[in-house]
């Protein structure tokens, strides 16, 4: 069990550029979640995968955001045409999908849009 | 909708002081309640949880009791240590399956413990 891994840890980009983040969940965890955390706030839910199926998306996830989880393993979160308001910490969590519903979080990707 | 409200911070205590961090929630049905902790430079870690009314979650000397009548899940520790300095988040989920399993978090509170 190597934990949830996120890459990169930090990303600085210019407004209007596209960025992609990767999350590698704990092996055999079938649930994967993306959250966004802005300064001074708690994490906010973005989207959820059960295996490869994306089962729910928050209204926070505008059309510029897309997430995938091919083959039910790693996941990517892409933001197109970034805006300064997209600056935040993007957190990934995975869960084994049991009744305990314990989510294990990665260290996050911090995005700064200049 | 679901929401979690935490007391305003930050909180600064001396080592061995008693800690209480308040958390109240709004949710339909019977949510599961969690406390997560974030140490500097690290990801969120589950500290403790409770899944039904009157359940007490406990871990590392921390405790919290699920109070349905007051919709609260306050975090307590009898004697804090410098190593407890971190950000603490209260959270809930509506259930354990499907989209109900997503977490709704409070704003978090920063605890600093002085030697």
Q: How confident is the model over B46-77, as pLDDT tens digits? A: 999 999 999 999 999 999 999 999 999 999 99
Higher pLDDT, B96 or B60: B60
Residues 6 or more apart whose Cβ sits within 8 Å of residue A24: A4, A5, A6, A7, A73, A74
In this prediction, residue B88 carries a pLDDT of 97
**Residue A51 touches chain B, beta carbons under 8 Å:** no
* Cβ A4 vs Cβ A94: under 8 Å: yes
* Cβ B38 vs Cβ B45: under 8 Å: yes
Note down pLDDT in tens along chain A; length 114 residues.
579 999 999 999 999 999 999 999 999 899 999 999 998 899 999 999 999 999 999 988 889 999 999 988 999 999 999 999 999 999 999 998 776 678 999 999 999 999
Q: Do A107 and B43 touch (CB under 8 A)?
A: yes
**Residue B115 touches chain A, beta carbons under 8 Å:** no
Report which secondary-structure segment, H or E, holds A20.
Answer: strand A19-24
Q: Which residue has the tokens 């490869």?
A: A52
| Alpha-carbon distance A88 to nearest alpha carbon in chain B (angstroms) | 14
| Alpha-carbon distance B64 to nearest alpha carbon in chain A (angstroms) | 17
**Residue A85 touches chain B, beta carbons under 8 Å:** no
Q: How far apart are CA B50 and CA B52, in angstroms?
A: 6
Q: Which residues of B touch A35 (CB under 8 A)?
A: 103
Q: Which of B32, B41, B45 sits opposite A101 (nearest CB)?
A: B32
Q: Which two tokens mark A40?
A: 């001074």
- Kindly report, residue by residue over B19-48, the tens digit of the pLDDT: 999 999 999 888 999 999 999 888 899 999
In this prediction, residue B35 carries a pLDDT of 97
Closest CA to B75 of B4, B2, B1, B6: B6
**What residue in A sits closest to B9 (Cα-Cα)?**
A40
């Amino acid at each position: 069990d190597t934990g949830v891994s996120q890459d990169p840890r930090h990303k600085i980009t210019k407004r209007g550029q596209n960025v992609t983040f990767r999350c590698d969940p704990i092996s055999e965890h079938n649930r994967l979640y993306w959250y966004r955390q802005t300064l001074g706030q708690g994490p906010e839910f973005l989207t959820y995968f059960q295996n490869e199926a994306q089962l729910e998306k928050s209204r926070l996830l505008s059309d510029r955001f897309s997430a995938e989880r091919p083959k039910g393993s790693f996941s990517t979160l892409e933001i197109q045409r970034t805006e300064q308001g997209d600056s935040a910490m993007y957190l990934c969590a995975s869960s084994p999908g049991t009744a305990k519903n314990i989510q294990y979080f990665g260290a996050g990707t911090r995005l700064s849009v200049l | 909708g679901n929401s979690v409200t935490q007391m305003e911070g930050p909180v600064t205590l001396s080592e061995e002081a008693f800690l209480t961090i308040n958390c109240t929630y709004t949710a339909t049905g019977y949510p599961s309640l969690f406390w997560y902790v974030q140490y500097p430079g690290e990801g969120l870690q589950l500290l403790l949880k409770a899944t039904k009314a009157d359940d007490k979650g406990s871990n590392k000397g921390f405790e919290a009791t699920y109070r349905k009548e007051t919709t609260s899940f306050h975090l307590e520790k009898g004697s804090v240590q410098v190593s407890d300095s971190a950000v603490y988040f209260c959270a809930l989920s509506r259930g354990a399956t499907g989209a109900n399993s997503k977490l709704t978090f409070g704003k978090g509170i920063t605890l600093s413990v002085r030697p």
